[in-house]
Structure 1
Amino acid sequence: MEETIIKFVKMTESEFEEFYKLENENYAEDLNKVFNTPKEEAYSQATKTFDSYLSDGLNTENNYLYSIIESESNNQIGTLWLIARENNNIKELFIASIRIFNQYQGKGYGKISMSLVDKKASELNVAKIALHVFGYNKNAISLYEKVGFEPFSINMEKFLD
């Protein structure tokens, strides 16, 4: 697949509202699943996190919120949220969220999207790209490793009967 088969387009306000709702719900579910945070508390915590990072919504400074669009059909196939920031005196682009919708997964769009993220990072003149992924998300981890990401910290656990 050529990289031109998808493009990043700045989210509209209505796309942002859908994105915020979906990502907030998914993050709350992750908090519940990974940390056993009670559901009500997880939703509250997720909302506080999103509101602090996106204090001005779609127009929050140094945040880039995109719909991932399939060029030929012009269908939205996913979403992307990038944050340009400084971390330990190094300019980085943090992938806060990348999502290829279920019906479009397995078609190479994730890998192409990651390549386009590299181009955006180059445009922004950052030194590195960073992201966080929960350990249970094996498909995402596999993709990130294929495109050159390496773990820099790993927490592990083992449940006893």
Structure 2
Amino acid sequence: MPELIARPMRENEFAQWNEETTRLLAASHVAVGNWSSEAAPELARKARRDVLPDGFATAGMLFLKGLQPDGTPVGSVWLGLTYPRGTPDCAFIYFIEVDEAHRGKGYGRALLSAAENVVRSRGVKSLELNVFGFNAAAIQLYETSGYGVVTQQMRKSLDG
């Protein structure tokens, strides 16, 4: 696993990160058929506002930047210290992403490990995340990192 420095995201980095990841959220929901491409941008912005009503200052949320030792950014992770559906003693990864130029080099595993360490240091006993079914690389990463399926949704298109 490559060396990774995980530091808190700075407030001046948040706006650009939020915009980029909200676009990724919209695209993912379009890809799985949840939202139309026309409605997706506003639905993603609303979903983000609902979870982060105070933006960067929303209580219980942590935003981390993953950096190489020379300071080159390689990715980010957004953690909620409490589970959004109330599971006790469980934190939640809302978003984890390795920049495209750095994928396939072990940074995803390093960033995931850093997130786990941060949650553990806060006394939380488990960590959960959601992954879109089309994201085979992420699913493999999570499985090989010890994550197991808790719930699973499946869909069949009936239009032809």
Question: Considering the TM-score relative to the shorter chain, is it more than 0.5?
Answer: yes
Whichever residue aligns with residue 31 of structure 1, its letter is: H
Residue 36 of structure 1, CA deviation: 4.6
Q: Distance in 2 between matches of 1:85 and 1:144?
A: 20
Name the CA shift for 1:43/1:109 in 2 (closer, same or farther; >3 Å).
Answer: same
Aligned residues: 158
The residue that corresponds to 2:59 in the other structure is 61
Whichever residue aligns with residue 8 of structure 2, its letter is: K
> Which of 136, 139, 149 is residue 141 of structure 1 equivalent to?
139
Q: Distance in 1 between matches of 2:114 and 2:63?
A: 14
Whichever residue aligns with residue 127 of structure 1, its letter is: K
Specify which structure has the higher proportion of strand: 1
RMSD: 1.6
- Cα contact 1:83–1:93 (8 A) shared by 2: yes
Residue 159 of structure 1, CA deviation: 4.2
Structure 2: unaligned runs, 5 residues or longer: none
SS of residue matched to 2:137: helix
- Cα contact 1:28–1:42 (8 A) shared by 2: yes
* Bigger mean CA deviation after superposition, 79-88 or 99-108: 79-88
Name the CA shift for 1:88/1:18 in 2 (closer, same or farther; >3 Å).
Answer: closer
- Cα contact 2:76–2:111 (8 A) shared by 1: no
> Which of 58, 70, 74 is residue 71 of structure 2 equivalent to?
74
> Which of 106, 109, 112 is residue 107 of structure 2 equivalent to?
109
Deviations 1:123-149 (A, max 9, x none): 111121000000000000000001000
The residue that corresponds to 1:124 in the other structure is 122
Deviations 1:20-65 (A, max 9, x none): 1111101111111212522232111110111121111112110001
Structure 1: unaligned runs, 5 residues or longer: none
Q: Distance in 1 between matches of 2:64 and 2:87?
A: 26
Specify which structure has the higher proportion of helix: 1
Residue 92 of structure 1, CA deviation: 1.3
Name the CA shift for 1:64/1:36 in 2 (closer, same or farther; >3 Å).
Answer: closer
